């Protein structure tokens, strides 16, 4: 019963009550700040706030007599309820409702003057949760007690010096890393001396060629610096999954491992085979992790009935496949790849029943494949009236550009069990709504829809996304990632754990550098030693809070305003104080990252008026959209769904959050979720997180965590590289360009910024590269050269440069473990991609920005007859093949012309010819994999490619002979006078 005349607590909105003398309880005798005893005890004992929030005066000691932490816990237990529970439960009478939340707009407006206490309470409870990731300070006055992680106190563990870590950093040995660094510094010095010689010694007879070569070489040097210095401190990491299990999975107790939501995205089941996607899903459902902690969401952005039906078949087969995998510890747990292994499958299998059950399971899988392939064959031709479901109703996704949102839960806690009667992980089919006139943002938009759906249905604190062709190759992969994310020291500022990409079905020589070994085993290790690896789009485990745009718990608190008190010593609020220098500086930092409501640490620096503006209902709705249930889920740092949530209500809410208009006028794709604005949304999303102060982790298990398929033939590989390069150009031309974005907050380390700059400027290397690869042919056709006659000192600089390049590569191979073949393949395809895909990406990016033209290069496939790696020799016509082919033809013509001129000129011409021919062979050798792929196994080069290339090379050569821009005026006059005779 509310006492008459008793003020309400400013924290929980309950009456402040009376003290032992029967008088109104007063927390602060200086300003009479209304605060009940429970909230006072909570703030003083639990949060360590010993001074009044309004005037700063210390609380009286008698207010805290005979109060212990147990009393507070008893008073607060049962009161930290979720927002949804208060939305549906209005009978919590007589309970101290510290965390009552409501989404009433009228209530928000009514509390606008004095600050909304409900939102304030929500923020206070949220900040309380964030402290669980930090070490609690000792309560003793002496301060000699060691700091104890709050997780250990909650679990009842006694802190000890012998507590084993979940992971460990293994630095590269100094005897390998120190020489590498020394050579890098030496190479920088030699580059400076080399360019000093090149600039101060121009070639007057070929000034244009010389100037072009100087510009190209300077650009290459800058690119090398951007690529090399982020590798300054490479590290390796070791995980201890057994320690993770012993700490969070006690025998006979409920597992305390954090839940994980898997995201699998697909668009067209005919281009992305349904069977491959099904294998990915099966490998996820069979992962070695508690089944109640795993949920798999499959996004079908093409609304294909084939995807839906194949997923239904997959859910049925999973009832047999999952228990088989877990019973016999099968690896990998994707049936297609397990049964195709050419190894002794009886190794380490001691159960007598294994062989019999394996044969039966293989037969079951073959029958399952037949059913899925029958669905694929049926889907090859769409009926005129559209697809019809089994109940006779029309398939809602018949119009792929205009259909409602669809969600189907196939497996889960209340769904079908496996054949042994055990529960299966949740499997959910999602197809977001599509309507004409709305921008859907392709894969990034689909991923953001999955973020919202999963938050409504399961709300796991961590998300792991996989492409539809990347299956779980290591059943312990989730535990490997949890060794970082669940570590109270390491995981508090980790936004994601990136796993390297590994691939199946690539030829041994890896002709087109599909494995990308140098990037994953060299560059990413180097980035892990700075602020973390970049996000590469798949095989990545996210902290959900980082996707919501919140800052890390370890982010330093911004400086407070110089005004020590913003309240008058009365109940009435004073006017908002004028902004001082520190406040302007704080706002500039916040505005720079557009994260006003994202960093809760910053909220402590604001007075109550500012805080109520930042943490208001309206600001959350403008950020996350109009969904009360989803907004509540964003505040649950450790995940979980409201206990009062009705499954049918949650499904309706999930349908609502994937509607095509939900993201309008919100921060989705701008500051939260996957970021829009580039076809490489992965790079942009990771960059935004690093700018907010997060770091990422690179996890390389001994057994690869995930494996996928890579494009084998030359044309598909070039188109893949084109898409990556185009995305980098789009980021370069956007407001998120690392050259200028995020400087105000100073949260992105300089070497990390250099790495991101390198990821967006590398396509522009195509311009100097194609010019540099043309120089050998020009020199051979004109008899000129870009380097003057070498002196002794010049020879030293050239020799030193070549030696430093070789030493850098050798020492890099030594600490990284990469083979020299992989390094050479990477170098070759850097040239191939640079003169083709990267060049087209630059022009297409500028066309898209200036003229709004989105050019697509079509590919027409031809048949392949070869059995193994048949697709490797498949030739597909694409304009990307023309520039490299032209360069090869021009350089071959130049070599022939050079040798012909040397034969006619005598022995004195052979010396200068050597340097020119070496230069030309350097280009041809780098383009050799392209030439071999162009010819194919049986020399089946498309005639159109040969005709275009020969035509361009011929026109170029004839024009060069007719009009030589590098001939001096004197030489031109002499030639014209000599040609007056009839013998010319």
Confirm whether residue 301 is marked as ligand binding: yes
Of the candidates 469, 487, 510, 682, the residue annotated as catalytic is 682
Confirm whether residue 315 is marked as ligand binding: no
Confirm whether residue 443 is marked as ligand binding: yes
Q: What is the enclosing helix (H) or strand (E) of 364?
A: helix 354-379
Confirm whether residue 467 is marked as ligand binding: yes
Q: Is 144 a catalytic residue?
A: no
Three-state DSSP state, 15: strand
Contact 266, 302 (CB under 8 A): yes
Contacts of 189 (CB under 8 A, 6+ apart): none
CA–CA gap between residue 716 and residue 150 (Å, rounded): 52
Strand bridging mode 540-543 / 462-467: antiparallel
- In 748-856, where does DSSP find H-type helix? 750-761, 766-782, 792-816, 820-834, 837-850
Q: Report the 10 Å Cβ neighbour count for 804.
A: 19
CA–CA gap between residue 319 and residue 361 (Å, rounded): 12
Place of tokens 């559209």: 386
Contact 441, 676 (CB under 8 A): yes
Contacts of 358 (CB under 8 A, 6+ apart): 328, 345
- Tokens for 109? 């407006």
Rounded alpha-carbon distances, angstroms, from residue 468 to 263, 264, 681, 776: 9, 6, 17, 44
CA–CA gap between residue 606 and residue 611 (Å, rounded): 6
Three-state DSSP state, 289: coil
Number of H helices, E strands in the chain: 36, 15
Q: Is 682 a catalytic residue?
A: yes
| Closest by CA position to 101, among listed 114, 85, 115 | 85
Confirm whether residue 288 is marked as ligand binding: no
DSSP letters spanning 35-78: --HHHHHIIIIIS---B-TTT-PBPPGGGGTT--HHHHHHHHTT
Contact 559, 583 (CB under 8 A): no
Rg of the chain, C-alpha, whole Å: 33
Q: Is 617 exposed, middle or buried (0-12, 13-18, 19+ CB in 10 A)?
A: buried
Contact 246, 172 (CB under 8 A): no
Q: Report the 10 Å Cβ neighbour count for 51.
A: 13
Of the candidates 301, 521, 610, 822, the residue annotated as catalytic is 301
Contact 542, 494 (CB under 8 A): no
SS (H, E, C) 714-740: HHHHHHHHHHHHHHHHHHHCCCCCCCC
Virtual CA dihedral for 889, 890, 891, 896, nearest 10 degrees? Answer: 90
Strand bridging mode 695-698 / 494-498: parallel
Three-state DSSP state, 541: strand
Q: 285-294 b/e with 16+ CB inside 10 Å = b?
A: bbbbbbbbbb
Annotated binding-site residues for UDP-alpha-D-glucose read: 265, 271-272, 301, 442
Annotated binding-site residues read: 265, 271-272, 301, 442-443, 467
Q: Return the active site residues.
A: 301, 682
């Amino acid at each position: 019963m509310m006492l008459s005349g008793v003020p309400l607590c400013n924290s929980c909105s309950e009456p402040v009550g009376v003290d032992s003398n029967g008088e109104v309880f007063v927390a602060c005798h200086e300003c009479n700040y209304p605060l009940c005893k429970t909230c006072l005890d909570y703030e003083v004992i639990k949060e360590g706030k010993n001074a009044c929030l309004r005037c700063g005066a210390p609380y009286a000691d008698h207010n805290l007599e005979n109060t212990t932490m147990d009393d507070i816990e008893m008073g607060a237990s049962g009161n930290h309820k979720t927002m949804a529970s208060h939305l549906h439960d209005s009978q919590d009478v007589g309970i101290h409702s510290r965390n009552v939340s409501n989404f009433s707009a009228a209530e928000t407006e009514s509390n606008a003057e004095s600050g909304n206490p409900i939102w304030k309470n929500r923020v206070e409870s949220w900040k309380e949760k964030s402290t669980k990731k930090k070490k609690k300070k000792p309560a003793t006055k002496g301060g000699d007690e060691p700091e104890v992680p709050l997780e250990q106190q909650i679990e009842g563990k006694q802190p000890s010096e012998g507590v084993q870590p979940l992971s460990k950093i293994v630095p590269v040995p100094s005897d390998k890393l120190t020489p590498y660094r020394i050579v890098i510094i030496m190479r920088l010095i030699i580059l400076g001396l080399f360019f000093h010689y090149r600039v101060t010694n121009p070639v007057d007879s070929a000034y244009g060629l010389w100037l072009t070569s100087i510009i190209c070489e300077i650009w290459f040097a800058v690119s090398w610096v951007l690529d090399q210095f982020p590798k300054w401190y490479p590290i390796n990491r070791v995980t201890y999954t057994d320690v993770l299990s012993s700490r969070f999975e006690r025998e006979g107790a409920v597992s305390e491992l954090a839940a994980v939501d898997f995201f699998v995205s697909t668009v067209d089941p005919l281009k992305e085979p349904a069977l491959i996607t099904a294998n990915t899903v099966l490998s996820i459902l069979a992962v070695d992790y508690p089944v109640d902690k795993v949920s798999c969401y499959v996004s079908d952005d093409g609304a294909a009935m084939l995807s839906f039906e194949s997923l239904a078949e997959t859910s049925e087969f999973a009832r047999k496949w999952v228990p088989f995998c877990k019973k016999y510890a099968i690896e990998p747990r994707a049936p297609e790849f397990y049964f195709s292994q050419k190894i002794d499958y009886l190794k380490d299998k001691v159960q007598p029943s294994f062989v019999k059950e394996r044969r039966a399971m293989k037969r079951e899988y073959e029958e399952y494949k037949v059913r899925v392939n029958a669905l694929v064959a049926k889907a090859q031709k769409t009926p005129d009236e559209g697809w019809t479901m089994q109940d006779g109703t029309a398939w809602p996704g018949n119009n792929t550009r205009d259909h409602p949102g669809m969600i189907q839960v196939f497996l889960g806690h209340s769904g079908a069990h496996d054949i042994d009667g055990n529960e299966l992980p949740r499997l959910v089919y999602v197809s977001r709504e599509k309507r004409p006139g709305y921008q859907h943002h392709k894969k990034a938009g689909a991923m953001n829809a999955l973020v919202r759906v999963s938050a409504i249905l399961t709300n796991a604190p961590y998300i792991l996304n996989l492409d539809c062709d990347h299956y779980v190759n290591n059943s312990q992969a989730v535990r490997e990632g949890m060794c970082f994310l669940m570590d109270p020291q390491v995981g508090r500022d980790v936004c994601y754990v990136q796993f390297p990409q590994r691939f199946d079905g690539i030829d041994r020589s890896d002709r087109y550098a599909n494995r990308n070994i140098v990037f994953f085993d060299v560059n990413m290790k180097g980035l892990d030693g700075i602020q973390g690896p970049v996000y590469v789009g798949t095989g990545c485990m996210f902290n959900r809070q980082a996707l919501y745009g919140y800052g890390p718990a370890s982010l330093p608190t911004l400086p407070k305003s110089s005004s020590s008190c913003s309240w008058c010593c009365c109940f009435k609020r004073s006017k908002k104080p004028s902004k001082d220098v520190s406040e302007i500086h704080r706002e500039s930092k916040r505005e720079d990252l557009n994260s006003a409501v994202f960093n809760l640490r910053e909220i402590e620096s604001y007075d109550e008026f500012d805080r109520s503006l930042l943490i208001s209902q309206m600001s959350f709705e403008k950020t996350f959209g109009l969904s009360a249930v989803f907004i509540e889920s964003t505040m649950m740092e450790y995940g979980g769904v409201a206990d009062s949530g009705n499954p049918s209500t949650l499904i309706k809410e999930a349908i609502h959050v994937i509607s095509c208009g939900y993201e309008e006028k919100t921060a989705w794709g701008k500051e939260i979720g996957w970021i829009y604005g580039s076809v490489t949304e992965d790079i942009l999303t990771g960059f935004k997180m690093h700018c907010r102060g997060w770091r990422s982790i690179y996890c390389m298990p001994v057994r690869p965590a995930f494996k996928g398929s890579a494009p084998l033939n030359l044309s598909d590989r070039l188109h893949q590289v084109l898409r990556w390069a185009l995305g980098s150009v789009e980021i370069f031309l956007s407001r998120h360009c690392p050259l200028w974005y995020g400087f105000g907050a100073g949260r992105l380390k300089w070497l990390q910024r250099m790495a991101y700059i390198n990821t967006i400027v590398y396509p522009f290397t195509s311009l100097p590269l194609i010019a540099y690869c043309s120089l050998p042919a020009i020199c051979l056709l004109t008899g000129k050269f870009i380097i003057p006659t070498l002196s002794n000192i010049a020879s030293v600089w050239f020799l030193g440069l070549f030696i430093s390049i070789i030493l850098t590569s050798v020492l890099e191979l030594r600490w990284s473990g990469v083979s020299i073949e992989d390094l050479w393949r990477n170098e070759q395809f850097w040239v191939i991609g640079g003169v083709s895909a990267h060049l087209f990406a630059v022009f297409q990016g500028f066309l898209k920005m200036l003229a709004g033209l989105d050019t697509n290069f079509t590919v027409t496939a031809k048949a392949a007859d070869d059995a193994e790696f048949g697709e490797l020799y498949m030739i597909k016509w694409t304009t990307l093949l023309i520039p490299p082919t032209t360069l090869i033809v021009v350089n071959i013509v130049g070599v022939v012309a050079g040798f012909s001129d040397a034969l006619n000129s005598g022995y004195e011409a052979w010396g200068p010819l050597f340097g020119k021919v070496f230069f030309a062979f350097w280009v041809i050798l780098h383009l050799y994999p392209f030439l071999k792929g162009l010819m194919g196994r049986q020399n089946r080069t498309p005639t159109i490619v040969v005709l275009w290339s020969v035509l361009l090379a011929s026109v170029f050569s004839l024009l060069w002979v007719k009009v030589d821009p590098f001939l001096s005026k004197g030489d031109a006059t002499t030639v014209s006078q000599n040609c007056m005779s009839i013998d010319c």
